[in-house]
Amino acid sequence: MVKLNDIIQWCDQTLKANEFKDYAPNGLQIEGKTEVKRIVCAVSASQSAIDAAIELQADVLLVHHGYFWKGEPSPITGMRGKRIKSLIQHDISLLAYHLPLDSHPSLGNNAAIADLLHLDQLEALDPNERHPIGNIGYLKNAMTPDEFKAFVSQQLNYDPIHLMADKPCIQKVGFCTGGAQDFITKAAEQNCDAYISGEVSERTFYQAVELDVHYYACGHHATERYGVQRLGQAICEQFGLEYHYVELNNPI
């Protein structure tokens, strides 16, 4: 058994959580048992993820998308109330890391995408960010837009939406996981051939055409299911705990 506070302290320090201005609190969001034996990880703290944590007798549910987002109503009622009640009734802590887990150079979602797509010579998508939440990488060999779509689909196990630009070849690729479709403008400023994120908006179609950057929407969930697994595995290696990842197959 390991003390919950030791795990939180290690995660906060490893991810440099206090150095980010985020949309929700990073770290411990709901406190359960003071000692931990088993961790369950999921992308989002949905009721399905909580039910899986209960079934697996987890002491901690570790997620990328937790609760208490800016702009949300404060009362703990309805769907969110049911979720939080379930966690408290079963004495399960909720631990969530958002932007720090996107950004981390080895455990993060973007780092995982770079590894999966064999993107090298990583740079910041926004050079002004202290801890970049988006990156640029380079393919060893240039691909046609269709070849790149097939490669991305195979590597991420997800059929991306491809918004076409005019460029005949892709080698310099910008990427930021999740709902960062509007960062296509940053990719254009950095002269990227293509840009990858999770979601897509109606306006993105015109941005891809007019900025001449191929856009690949690869799924919010699909692009962000890697960081939480890497973090969960790292925690368990550090502390000798049991770890399970729950894949809930969200198609968005």
Domains with residue ranges and CATH for the chain? 2-98+226-244 (3.40.1390.30), 109-223 (3.40.1390.30)
Say if CB 223 and CB 161 are below 8 A apart. no
pTM for the whole structure: 0.96
Whole-number Å distance between alpha carbons of 224 and 232: 14
| Predicted local confidence at residue 116, as pLDDT | 98
Burial class (CB in 10 A: 0-12, 13-18, 19+), 16: middle
40 touches 248 (CB < 8 A) = no
Closest CA to 190 of 228, 118, 113, 134: 134
**Which strands, in side-by-side order, build the sheet including 242-245?**
27-30, 93-96, 60-65, 38-44, 242-245
Output the pLDDT for position 156. 97
Per-residue confidence (pLDDT) for residue 249, from 0 to 100: 86
* Cα gap 216→145, rounded to integer Å: 10
Confidence (pLDDT) at 195: 98
- Please give the pLDDT value at position 203: 98
* Partners of residue 39 on adjacent β-strands: 60, 243
Specify the pLDDT at position 190.
Answer: 97
Per residue in 196-222, is it b (16+ CB within 10 Å) or e — as a string? bbbbbeeebeebbeebebbbbbbbbbb
Contact 119/246 with Cβ under 8 angstroms? no
CA distance 177 to 223: 5
Query: How confident is the model at residue 158, as a pLDDT?
Result: 96
C-alpha–C-alpha distance, residues 191 and 174, integer Å:
9
Residues of the chain with pLDDT under 70: none
Radius of gyration over alpha carbons of the chain, in Å?
Answer: 19
